[in-house]
Amino acid sequence: MSQDHSVSKRLQSELMNLMMGPSPGISAFPDGDNIFNWIGTIQGAKDTVYEHMEFKMSLKFPTDYPYKPPTVKFETQCFHPNVDNNGNICLDILKDKWSPVYNVRSLLISIQSLLGEPNNESPLNSYAASLWSNQDEYKKVLEKRYQEATSRS
Amino acid sequence: MVQQNNKEQQESSLLIWEKIVSIFSIPSQNEILNYKQQSQNNIENNLKPLFNNVRLYKLESLVLDWYFESIKKYFKSTLSNEFWKFFNNVNLAELDSSKTSGRELKFINHQFALSISLLHKVFSYFKFNLFLFYELLFKNESYNFNFLIKKLQDLLITNIMHTTNQQTKYFNTILFMFFERDFISFTKSFYHSKKQILNKEEKNDGKDFKLKVQQEYSDGEIEEEEEKEEEEEEEEVSKSYIMMEMSFEDSITDINIKEDSFMDLCKKLQDLNFIVISEEIFTQILFKKVFEYIETRCKGVFEKRFLKSILEWADQVIFKWLGMILLSSTKNNNNNLFDEDEDENSLKIFNQWKTRLEFSIYENYSQQRISELFDMIVQYPDSLPSFEDLSICFQKIPIEKTMITNLKRVLHNRLLHPGANTSDIITQYISTIHAMSIIDPSGMVMDKVGKPIREYLSQREDTIRCIISSFTDETNEIYQELCDYDPQDDDYLNSFMQNGASGGDLYVDEGDNFSNDDFKIWNPNKIDGSGSGSGSGNSNGGNNNNNIKKKDTISHLVNIYDSIDLFINEYRSMLSDRLLSVVDFDLDKEIKNVELLKLRFGDTILFNCEIMIKDMADSKRLNTQIKNSNNELKEFETLILSQLFWPTLKGDEFKYPKSIQEKMNLYSKEYERIKTPRQLIWKQHLGLVDLDLEIGSGNIQSFQVSPIHATLIMLFETNNDNDDDEDDEKELTLEYLSNQLGISKELARKKLIFWLNNQIIRETSHETYQIINKEKEEKKQKQQQIENPDQDIDESSSDDEDNMVVVEEEEEEKSTSAKEKEEQMRVVESFIIGMLINFKTLPLERIHSMLTMFNSEVYTSSIQELKAFLCNLTNEEKIEMVGNDYKIKK
């Protein structure tokens, strides 16, 4: 209980932090009544194929946050070498490289930069990984997928 | 009736009956009046045997009934007429004590006395006969003579005075007028005798005594020169007390209805049992007199204590008079033939009335005062005596409720409205606190009365500012209290602050008998807590009584707001303003202030302010050090503020002139060398510049201006002093000026107004400015052969008019609380934006609930306030409304 309380306090202060000093292209806010579930928004960075695209995320914080990383998924389907069809992300800091010094902001920035710089060594989406080298072609497929994803929702 | 009686007794009983009737039949009026008591002989010889026979034949009750019946008849048919005859010449229907002339009144009263005499004589006659009946017939039985008398009295009253409603009314009026007039005479004679004593004393003792007495009865100015004057004076004295129109013919000798005759009359009335039925009437007069007396003497006069003298007056006038009426029979004890308990009874009645009247004095006085509470508070502390009086009433009778409601209402009507200055409201609030602590040391009344004031004050933006300035203003009493504060009472203070009401150990001044309550055990939850607890006799010392008030005042003020931080923040920003804007501030005074506040509110909370003051002293030292190391920096006086401890200093940033900026950089370097790793950040908008302006040659004007004004005028500076005089001064456009300073055109225009108003520069054409060089203009004018110097002045003054139109607007200072609110709303805004980014669209209720949930520390608005705020954001085109939902405007 007390742990829950300190976690929600930490999340509160992260929220305040994020609200008062927003970083361009990323944002997040608790989803509904539970401060342990957030929705995030990431815009594709400038000069990448993802520019002008906006992806919704879901962030679920464990009760032992920040000692354990939150579970982060794409809610908007994202065509990306390190994101699978269910929105799961393959990112080291979300797994074994997680450290309590990370926070919602740094996490979202990492994911934002992952969009433009995928790790093609260990792809979840091998088709996307194979297509990455051909940026024009990649962009065509990406835009088509993005259209499908956003019109669906 | 008789014939139907027992046949055996018929004959002899008839005889007896006839005898009785012949002896006791009602005689003529004259006979009654001149009636002499029957001799004992006659009784023994004639009546006794007769009555023995009556008893023998058991005719007692018959005889008695018959006698009462005939008395009744007589009363109804004869005596009633006789009685009302006395008032034949009086228009009873229009009788009114306030309108009837003194002469008529005198007549009526005279007639009244006569009529009562008559009644009394008749009454005595019957009374004696009844006594015979009693003695001879019922003596041995358990028959009470008082019962017979009572019956006689009732017959008298019902058949003479109370035959018709109208007669009842008339009789009451007559009684009322009689008593009232007698009361007036009585008071007059009372003051007359006072006066006589006074005169005697005066002659004997000289002035000292006179002064003393004069103070006591200071309504009348007593002069001693001539007897006549004195008499007139006397008339005035009594007039002012009794408030009755009295014609001058009532000179003192004649108004003096002899007490004896009055007492005699009262005794008669008592015998007739009229006193009992007229109690209503004379007490009504007394209540009225008490009310009038209090109103005349006390209304609007708050600088004197009255209660004691009113009670004295009541004792000497009211109760004496009452005693004359009610106790008249007791005084002539030897005449009282029959009843012993009568005395006791009338004494009981007297005491009852005395208590009631005393009560009514307290009641009237407190009512009078309560209706004037607001004015009394305004005049506090001059009105202190009346508050002390009121506090006595507060102990005696339950007036809290009326007092609270009345005070609340009058404060609401007269004080808590937009027309009143905040400082006035605070002053009044403080006076109220002081005044109420006199009346009710427990603070219960103040707690209730103060609530609406506190609530109202907390709505006003400048309240904190006013309070803080009262904390620091040496002439203010609050400042004095702060100075007198004794930190040893800290324990008390803490408990006080926590409870918001009195707790802790309080001691009562033994001298003040009104504060003997045990408010130590006072319970704040007791809503109607009466002030009259049991005195605990807890009177260890008198001094602490004052401390209670002091603590009250400051705590009451601080309690307007939830936390003391607000005050300290405001104090800090005011301190900062003072330190930064005033050059020759009195640092010692500020130090003293901070120390006083520290004593009162604790060290930690004033830590920042201490640092601020320390910065001032430190800067001076550092300045000298830096100036000594570099000669170039001589003209700088720098204040070095520790950023963390000062309030945020906001202001317009602008570019300094290069030459100055260079020196400032130099200074910074010196500082950083001495104080590594600290850095200097210049607050450019703060500070003062001593400026000498030389326009033309030798014409020097001195100014003390803000840096931005100085920088502005420096742009007009010309370097070619000695070059061609023919060249006009620089003409600079607003555009240029604002670019040079790096500020908006609007701000530049505002700042220019200062120089325009000082006639240093002028607007030559639209948004183009130039230095006014009078020297050159004069020269030009001379060249144009215009020699009249007046014209020059005319010109410039016409210029003046154009410029005067615009006045530099000082931005209204917002109090810290307002700034805080603004800051809070900025946070709320970012939360709303953050929400809308992630949720795309949200309805009002959802925004409200999420803000309440995730931003509870800052967000305190109601849903209506939020709606208004969202509406503002919509107007600023930050968000838009689609249907019922809000979304980010793209």
Share of chain B above pLDDT 90, in %: 0
| Better pLDDT: A83 or B231 | A83
**What is the pLDDT, as a whole number, of residue A38?**
92
What pLDDT shows up at residue B689? 77
CB distance A19–B850 less than 8 Å? no
B515 or B470, greater pLDDT: B470
Q: What is the pLDDT of residue A60?
A: 92
Smallest Cβ–Cβ distance between A22 and the set B834, B854, B855 belongs to B834
Predicted confidence at residue B623, as pLDDT, reads 79
Mutation target to probe the B interface, by most B beta carbons within 10 A, among A5, A10, A19 is A19
Asked whether B482 and B540 are in contact (CB, 8 A), the reply is no
Per-residue pLDDT tens for B92-110? 666 665 666 667 777 777 7
Tokens at residue B430, please?
């403080």
A135-144, B24-33, B545-554: the lowest-pLDDT one: B545-554
| 8 Å CB contact of A19 and B853 | no
Check CB contact under 8 Å for A29 and B834.
yes
Taking an 8 Å cut-off on Cβ atoms, the answer to whether A20 and B830 are in contact is yes
**Could you tell me which residue, B520 or B660, shows the higher pLDDT?**
B660
Give the SS3 label for residue B624. Answer: helix
Round to whole Å and give the CA distance between A58 and A60. 7
Beta-carbon contacts of residue B396 (< 8 Å; ≥ 6 apart): B359, B362, B532
AA identity, residue B162: H
Judging by beta carbons within 10 Å of its beta carbon (0-12, 13-18, 19+), is residue B429 exposed, middle or buried? buried
Residue B464 contacts residue B566 (beta carbons within 8 Å): yes
Examine the pLDDT at B473 and tell me if it is beyond 60.
yes
What are the structure tokens assigned to B572, written together? 């800090």
Share the mean pLDDT of chain B: 70
Going by C-beta distance under 8 Å and a sequence separation of 6 or more, which residues neighbour residue A126? Answer: A81
Q: Which of B389-398, B765-774, B803-812 has the lowest mean pLDDT?
A: B803-812
In chain A, which among 4-33 make CB contacts under 8 A with chain B? 12, 15-16, 18-20, 22, 27-31, 33
- Alpha-carbon distance of B279 to B508, in angstroms, equals 43
d(CA B266, CA B5) in angstroms, rounded, equals 45
Mutation for A interface: B827, B852, B854, most A CBs within 10 A? B854
How would residue B215 be classed by pLDDT, with cut points 50, 70 and 90? very low
Unique residue bearing structure tokens 């009794």: B242
Annotated catalytic residue within A90, A94, A108, A115: A90
- Residue B809, pLDDT > 50, answer no
Does residue A19 have a pLDDT over 50? yes
Q: Which residues of B touch A15 (CB under 8 A)?
A: 854-855
In this complex, do B838 and A16 lie within 8 Å of one another by their Cβ atoms? no
Q: What is the torsional sign of CA B847, B850, B854, B855?
A: positive
Structure tokens at B364: 């009237």
Confidence of residue B673 (pLDDT cuts 50, 70, 90): confident
Burial of residue B582, with CB atoms counted within 10 A of its CB: 0-12 exposed, 13-18 middle, 19 or more buried:
exposed
- The pLDDT tens digits of the residues spanning B583-635 come to 666 777 788 888 888 877 778 888 888 888 888 888 878 878 877 777 767 66
Instruction: Kindly tell me if the per-residue pLDDT of B232 is higher than 60.
Output: no
pLDDT band at B725 (very low <50, low <70, confident <90, very high): very low
Collect all residues of chain A within an 8 Å Cβ-Cβ radius of residue B878. Answer: none
Who among A19, A33, A35 is closest to B834 (CB)?
A: A19
Q: Of B38, B39, B63, B36, which is closest to residue B50 (Cα–Cα)?
A: B63
Q: How many Å apart are CA A98 and CA B799, to the nearest integer?
A: 74
Rounded Cα–Cα distance for residues B413 and B429 (Å): 14
The residue of chain B with its CA nearest to that of A75 is B838
- Minimum mean pLDDT range among B94-108, B345-359, B620-634, B639-653: B94-108
Higher pLDDT, B762 or A132: A132
pLDDT beyond 60 at B528: no
**How close B846 gets to chain A, by Cα (Å)?**
9
Cross-sheet strand order for the sheet of A37-43: A26-30, A37-43, A54-60, A71-74
Alpha carbons A104 and B238: distance in angstroms, whole number = 92
Domain B816-888 is in which class?
mainly alpha
Hey, is the C-beta of A123 within 8 angstroms of any chain B C-beta? no
Cβ separation of B839 and A39 shorter than 8 Å? yes
Computed over every residue of chain A, the mean pLDDT equals: 87
**Chain B residues in contact with A18 (beta carbon < 8 A):** 834
pLDDT of B575-597, one tens digit each? 887 777 666 667 777 888 888 88
Q: What is the pLDDT of residue B169?
A: 77
User: Is A22 in contact with B830 (Cβ distance < 8 A)?
Assistant: yes
Name the phi and psi angles at B888, rounded to 5: -65, 135
- Mean per-residue pLDDT, B146-172: 76
- pLDDT category of residue A35 using cuts at 50, 70 and 90: confident
**Position A67 pLDDT exceeds 60:** yes
* pLDDT number for residue B6: 52
* pLDDT, greater one: B43 or B691: B691
Strand partners, A74: A57
Q: Which residues of B touch A (CB under 8 A)?
A: 827, 830-831, 833-835, 837-839, 850, 853-855
Angle at CA of residue B359, ends B357 and B364, nearest 5°: 90
Strands (E), B315-451: none
At residue B281 the predicted structure's pLDDT band, cuts being 50, 70 and 90, is confident
H/E run at residue A40: strand A37-43
Lowest average pLDDT, out of A9-13, B26-30, B505-509, B855-859, goes to B505-509
Cis status, amide bond into A22, omega within 30 of 0: no
CA distance A137 to chain B (A): 30
Residue of chain A whose alpha carbon sits nearest to that of B836: A29
Q: How is residue B743 written in tokens?
A: 């500020």
DSSP-derived secondary structure letter, A44: B
Give me the mean pLDDT over the B547-574 stretch. 70
A78 assigned to active site:
no
Task: Note the pTM of the prediction, 2 decimals.
Answer: 0.53
Between B28 and B425, the higher pLDDT residue:
B425
Q: What is the structure's pLDDT at B424? A: 83
Q: Which of A18, A31, A35 sits opposite B834 (nearest CB)?
A: A18
Contacts of B833 in chain A (CB under 8 A): 19, 22
Is the pLDDT score of B177 beyond 50? yes
Interface A–B counts its CB contacts (< 8 A) at 42
Of B434, B437, B397, the closest CA to residue B519 belongs to B437
How far, in Å, CA of B239 to CA of B258, rounded? 20
Residue B335 has pLDDT above 60, yes or no: no
| C-alpha dist (Å) from residue B534 to A62, B394, B447 | 64, 14, 21
User: With contacts defined as CB-CB under 8 Å, which chain A residues touch B854?
Assistant: 12, 15, 29-30, 35
pLDDT at B805: 32
Most confident of B21-30, B321-330, B542-551, B572-581: B572-581
| Fold annotation for B689-805 | Arc Repressor Mutant, subunit A (1.10.10)
The predicted structure's pLDDT at residue A70: 92
Distance between B578 CA and the closest CA of chain A, angstroms: 32
* B831 vs A contacts (CB less than 8 Å): 19
A27–B853 C-beta distance less than 8 A: no
Whether residue B854 and residue A39 make contact (CB cut-off 8 A), yes or no, is no
pLDDT value at B208 more than 60: no
Provide the percentage of residues in chain A whose pLDDT is more than 90.
Answer: 18
**pLDDT surpasses 50 at B525:** no
